[in-house]
Amino acid sequence: MRERGAKPPTEVPGVSEDEDRLERAYEAERAVIRQALDLPGPWPASTTSRTQNVEVLDVDRYDGFGVVLAAIERPVLWHGPTLQASVFRSDNGWQPLCGGGGGGSNEDPLMRRRRWTDATSVILRGGGGRCRPGPHQRAQTVCYAKVICSPSVASVVVDRPSDRRFVDVMNGPGWVVIVWPEGAEPRVTALGSTGEELDYLDPGLFRDR
């Protein structure tokens, strides 16, 4: 698999049909994910009905960075359904930085909220990571996190310096993705159907993870 963001060669001697098929499948995944950055939404997605292999669940943009959260049913790089977060930088278009996901489960991420059984939990941090610049780059480290909401959560407020994002999660799979430059960790508040605060994730929870 070539480096992300590189253009495919028109002809590669010695490449097998299987390798070519995997390459085309991977590029199809990336195309759906990248295109979502320029779509108006609304985000997060409000449907749990799968219509294609790559279902984009949420898109977040902040301070020149973007992140796309996608539930992939048959991912090229994982075994089993995966929840993939892909981070980009706005620099003459969206340039890929990094991404992370988890596979190996038979459960589609689209179904996790519907099968919620923990009555004591309202909102949970569902993983994340950071994209560090190379040793010769002056770019800032950018971080991202996935958050999953219980069925009792109607909306989520993401507070970052100079930005407040309000998202409606009344319907849909309940996943929210967040991006921020290191040092601008968010506070995430879960609200009920009448606007009451149910729980929150403190900025400290998003540091050093």
Selection from 93, 94, 47 nearest residue 67 by Cα: 94
Amino acid identity for residue 30 in this structure? R
Which of 101-105, 109-113, 132-136 has the highest mean predicted lDDT (pLDDT)?
Answer: 109-113
Q: What is the torsional sign of CA 21, 23, 29, 32?
A: negative
Give me the residue label for tokens 């994982």: 78
Q: Is residue 6 scored above 50 in pLDDT?
A: no
Of 49 and 122, more confident: 122
Strands of 123-131's sheet, edge to edge? 123-131, 142-149, 175-181
The SS3 of residue 55 is: strand
> 42: cis peptide before it, omega within 30°?
yes
pLDDT surpasses 60 at 15: no
**Could you give the percent of the chain with pLDDT greater than 90?**
55
Q: What is the pTM of this model?
A: 0.85
